[in-house]
Amino acid sequence: MMRPRRGLDPSSVWAQRLRQLEHRLRAKEERIVVLETENAVLHLKLAEYQGLAGRSTNEVLQLYAAHGQQMKFQRSSVVTQLHGAIKRLKQDLKSLHSFALELSKDFQRQSKTCLYQVLAAVQGTQLQNEAMQMFQIKAFDLEQSLQEVTERYEKEKQKRKALHNSLIELRGNIRVHCRIRPLLPFDDAAGHSQDRQRNFSEKVAHAADDETVLVKCSRPGHASVNKTFQFERVYNDLESQDAVFADVAPLLTSLLDGYNVCIMAYGQTGSGKTYTMLGPQLEGNLAFATEEQSELGIIPRATQEVFRLISEKPPGSYWVEVSVVEVYNNEIFDLLAKDSCGKVFGVKRDVVTTREGKSDVPLLTHETVENASEFLHLVNKGLQLRVTHPTLVHAHSSRSHLVVTLTITTAVFGDNFGTLWEDEQTSQRLNKEASFTFPQKMRDNKFTSSSRASSPVQLEATEKMKQVKTRLQLVDLAGSECVGMSGVTGAAVRETSFINRSLSALADVLGAIAEQRAHIPYRNSKLTHLLQDSVGGDAKLLVMLCISPGQKYLTESMQSLGFGTRARQVQRGQVKKKNFPVPSKGK
């Protein structure tokens, strides 16, 4: 209890204190009124909620009763459905049982049937096995018979070929082989439509067998016609250089037996003549590659074979000389001639006919070679001078005829000779050749063992001896061509004209020989004049036809095949053999 301060009026203090208490009382009373109002409102809401709760309880009771009734109804419904399902299952079970019984009976019946069928099949298989064994025995017998027949056929074929070759030699016929090259990228000519390109690249020439060429000839609006051509040998586009040379090699044996031999490649430009004769050429170089032995052509292989045969011969004196010429624009050029500095350059030569009626090229360079490597080196030198010109058909088209001649001289020294002559003319001609001057290499002590044994190396000019010369001529003819197809212009057109005229002259010469005319036009061309001895019957002549298989070159291929067919029909009489003198043993 506050005590009134001294100096203040106690009554005023109490009055102020009273007013404060009254004020607080009124605030409390107002608060009581508000709380009573809120209490009344809450009582009203409580009564409302109690009424709602009562109604909700009734509804819940009703729902519970309804749910109980529904559950009872559902249980009674499910039981009824289950009874129905059970009844249906029993019916289905009875049906399945009866079906199973029927199925079991049917299975037993089928099992018995299958068992009978299996037994029958086993018996049938045994019978078939016995029959198969019999068939196998018969097949084995047939295979043996077929093998025997095949062997007999091959033997008869070889006999027929030998007889045919003998007949060719007796008649003097020209052997003709035909080689079909593969299709190459340049066979599709640029500038043509796709349809024409496809037509041009179509393969129309095939090797039906090793003796027959089949050509499919077709013209617009006409049915295709197959034409066949028969030759001594036909090579398909897959056969190798080895296969080609295998049929040429026997002629080289004839060379050392005393026969002249000529192998000539004929065909249109781009048909594979130079590849067949020489082999693949080095890029940007006219020389041929000698490293790839499997790709070597006839010329290098023939040289290797000649030197191999010489090495196997009985002791004697042999030496080999080589000359290389080209016939360009109906002029003969010596490709081994050298200038004063020893450099090789082409010199024009002429061809003449000797008193004996033989062709000869005066002043022609003959280089002595001792092995195949020296020969190939000289030929490659000559090829550097050969004239070529690119055309639409061939990038390195030869514009001249190449003639490589290998001359083999056989000499035997002695005073007495036991000689077998085929005819008097050959004897007289050889007896006239009593002495001669040896090549420098042969004077330098490079004879074979028999010449060294018989006398010292120093030889007198008057020493008597006999000599026989045989020649191997290897000819790579320039290809016939159509100016419109090759696309040549200017000087190349003139070259084409001379090439075609010389090949035409060759065909005329063969035609005249076939018809046995009194006059043979050898001098119509320097080519035929140069090859007079070989074509005219003094040599075994093999013509290697080279043709392109594509439709684009059909006309040229048919012309080449026609030339080969006419050449086969030429009968020149039996080729004469130059018998070698046999030295006596007394000296």
Binding-site residue ranges for ATP? 267-274
DSSP assignment of 386-442: S-EE--SS-TTEE-SEEEEEEEEEEEEE-S-EE---S-HHHHHHHHH----PPPHHH
Binding residue positions? 267-274
* Contacts for 558 with CB less than 8 Å, ≥ 6 apart: 215, 217, 227
Task: Assess contact for 251 and 542: CB atoms under 8 A.
Answer: yes
Instruction: Report strand pairing: 347-349 vs 225-230.
Output: unpaired
- CA–CA separation, 395 and 487 (whole Å): 12
Task: Assess contact for 409 and 467: CB atoms under 8 A.
Answer: yes
Distance of CA 359 to the CA centre of its chain: 42
Closest CA to 517 of 541, 543, 536, 542: 536
Identity of residue 81: Q
- CA–CA separation, 303 and 379 (whole Å): 11
Angle CA 206–209–214, to nearest 5:
35
Residue 316: phi, psi to the nearest 5? -175, -175
- CA–CA separation, 192 and 272 (whole Å): 24
Identity of residue 313: K
DSSP assignment of 163-206: HHHHHHHHHTPPEEEEEEPPP-GGGS-TTS-HHHHHHHT-B-EE
Closest CA to 506 of 323, 262, 278, 297: 262
CA distances from 479 to 10, 236, 271, 557 (A): 160, 20, 8, 11
Closest CA to 398 of 381, 385, 380: 385
Residue 224: phi, psi to the nearest 5? -70, 140
Rg from Cα positions in the chain = 57
Cβ atoms < 10 Å from Cβ of 238: 9
